[in-house]
Structure 1
Amino acid sequence: MKNMLQLRRLLAQLLLFSLCLASWPGVAAAAEYLLGPGDAVRIVVYGNPDMTLETRVSESGKITYPLVGEVIVGRLSPSAAEKKIAAMLEAGGFLKNPQINVTVTQMQSQQVSVLGMVNRPGRFPLEGRRMLSDVLALAGGLAQDAADTVTVIRYRDGKPQREEIDIVAMFRSTELKENGLMQGGDVVYVERAPRFYIYGEVQRPSQYRLERNMTVLQGLAMAGGLTARGTERGVRIKRQGPDGKIQVLQAKHDDLLRAEDVVYIQESLF
């Protein structure tokens, strides 16, 4: 249990490092934001202020620019869009060697949603390449009561794909295979950590976070141990069975607890 708490602290530090790295100058620029439907852009032609335009990318990935008409900018980076507009203006004989600047003023298309047990849930723009760890860091990292697994819902070819990712196992792996690249429209949901309940003759009867492979004895220790009248004999667990009915089980110290278990510690008869 102590190792698990240390691992969770390490995970929080890694997410914080990921956030700092993502915000470091030049890192996001390594892979520029790609324009998409709904994005608002401002186009400036140096030396020609009358050609400044603020517009929004259409659902078909197009904008309409003076003199050249429709320009397909969807899936282009701002720098690629600059070159394309400049080439069209020069090819049409409107300007010679035009200097174009395209700025994204509002990012709509390339956003990912992070929901659930994170410190700052919300929608975040994918500026450059963002991995799962990056967007969790943008959301402030996992909250204290967060589970160790997250659900990622992706839309590929118009079809939703659902994946459960074990964050602890992901960071334990040197290859980080499950730390996948996020795309616009992806949703990350972090559930609340599983709980168990303990009452009766313990020092601190309450609900507690269920750690991995937690035994009855470890759960008892988390609740502060027995009271002066408590006994470790005859520990009972109320657990929901596959049929939905509550089962009452006699428990041993090394039995593993499950989510939503209710542990009862009896009073000693002697």
Structure 2
Amino acid sequence: MQAKTLIEQSASDRLKNSAVVLTLLDFQHPYFVVAGEAYAPSKYELRDNLTVLQGLMIGGGSRITGKESQVVLIHGANTPTPEVHVLNLKDVGSQKIFEKDMALSNGDIIYIPKSKLTKTIQVFSLINGPLNTAVYAGFR
């Protein structure tokens, strides 16, 4: 409403009895981000009151390579003082999971880190990968 009034006042010295109509075409919807070892990492609209667990399910859940016991929530990522919480969401079948579940806010980031096993497998694949096979082929 303030924008309409400002435009009308600004135009009043050039136009008589002007009428201004403003239409909002789009705006930044509230959102949250699911990142890391999720099946569908992406930015999602925050349409309802959601928790971290529900947000993870919208993001497809954790891959087998994810470390569900150390899911990171960056709460208030758009604020000057974001909070970082580490949540253990491994025991989905247990009631304890709901005690630690937190509400999501606009701009929150849910990050699923890689498990140690995944990191180890990646290191071994680098050691035994095609590049090293080619280098050592002459020594067989």
Specify the TM-score bucket, using the shorter chain as the normaliser. 0.5 to 0.7
Which whole-Å CA distance do the structure 2 matches of 1:187 and 1:164 have between them? 12
Cα separation, partners in 2 of 1:196 and 1:144, compared to 1, 3 Å: closer
Larger Rg: 1
> Which of 150, 163, 171 is 2:71 aligned to?
150
Q: Which has the higher contact order (CA 8 A, sep 6+)?
A: 2
**Residue deviations 1:60-118, cap 9 Å, x none?**
xx7745xxx48xxxxxxxxxxxxxxxxxxxxxxxxxxxxxxxxx975624111111000
1:124-143 alignment runs, 5 A limit = 124-143=44-63
Which whole-Å CA distance do the structure 1 matches of 2:2 and 2:91 have between them? 45
Which whole-Å CA distance do the structure 2 matches of 1:153 and 1:162 have between them? 5
1:163-178 alignment runs, 5 A limit = 163-169=85-91, 171-174=93-96, 176-178=98-100
- SS of residue in 2 equivalent to 1:144: coil
| Greater share of strand | 1
CA contact (8 A) 1:119 1:143 kept: yes
How far does residue 207 in structure 1 lie from its aligned partner after superposition? 4.0
| Aligned twin of 2:116 | 194
**Residue deviations 1:170-196, cap 9 Å, x none?**
652357122111000111110111128
| Aligned twin of 1:162 | 84
User: Which consecutive unaligned segments of at least 5 residues does structure 2 have?
Assistant: 7-23, 123-140
User: Which consecutive unaligned segments of at least 5 residues does structure 1 have?
Assistant: 1-61, 71-103, 198-205, 209-270
TM-score (norm 1): 0.33
| Aligned twin of 1:123 | 43
Give the letter aligned to residue 110 of structure 1: P
Cα separation, partners in 2 of 1:108 and 1:63, compared to 1, 3 Å: farther
Which whole-Å CA distance do the structure 2 matches of 1:120 and 1:107 have between them? 24
- SS of residue in 1 equivalent to 2:98: coil
| Aligned twin of 2:128 | none
Q: How many residues align?
A: 104
TM-score (norm 2): 0.60
Give the letter aligned to residue 111 of structure 2: Y
Cα separation, partners in 2 of 1:184 and 1:105, compared to 1, 3 Å: farther
| Aligned twin of 1:267 | none
Cα separation, partners in 2 of 1:147 and 1:174, compared to 1, 3 Å: closer
Moved over 2 A (4+): 62-65, 104-109
- SS of residue in 2 equivalent to 1:176: helix
